[in-house]
């Protein structure tokens, strides 16, 4: 009984070790990917900041306009007309 328990404990220890190694490898890959993203953001940070300074106020104005129910309902119709796609007949 003691030998069986010892063998099971050893197998469980090896399984936990394998899982820990896989988890460590996965965490390393994710950290490397995040580091690459952070480096790209740092390289282009000023350009992103300037773009966001220009874009966010315009998006805010557009969202205020689109919150009105009549305009929000008319947008799909307007897009279909602009793209010259008629309504589908059912």
The predicted pLDDT at position 72 comes to 73
Q: What is the pLDDT of residue 7?
A: 92
Does residue 17 share a domain with residue 3?
yes
Which residues have C-beta within 8 Å of that of residue 80, sequence separation ≥ 6?
86, 87
- Predicted confidence (pLDDT) per residue in 19-33, tens digit: 888 888 889 999 999
Q: Do 37 and 64 fall into the same domain? A: no
Evaluate whether 79 touches 73 at the Cβ level (below 8 Å).
Answer: no
Mean pLDDT to the nearest integer, 23-47 = 85
> Stretch 26-45: mean pLDDT, rounded?
86
Domain containing residue 87:
47-90
* pLDDT on residue 90: 58
State whether 80 and 53 are in the same domain.
yes
Residue given tokens 């190694």 in the structure block: 21
In the predicted model, is pLDDT for residue 12 greater than 80? yes
Mean pLDDT, range 74-87, rounded to an integer: 78
Are residues 27 and 54 located together in one domain of the fold? Answer: no
Q: What average pLDDT does range 53-58 have in this prediction? A: 84
């Amino acid at each position: 009984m003691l030998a069986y328990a010892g063998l099971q404990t050893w197998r469980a220890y090896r399984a936990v070790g394998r899982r820990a190694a896989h988890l460590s490898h996965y965490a390393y890959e994710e950290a490397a990917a995040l580091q690459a993203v952070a480096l790209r953001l740092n390289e282009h940070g000023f350009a992103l900041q300037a773009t966001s300074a220009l874009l966010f106020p315009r998006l805010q104005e557009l969202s205020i306009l689109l919150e009105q129910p009549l305009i929000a309902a008319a947008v799909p119709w307007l897009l279909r007309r602009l793209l010259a796609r008629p309504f589908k007949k059912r």
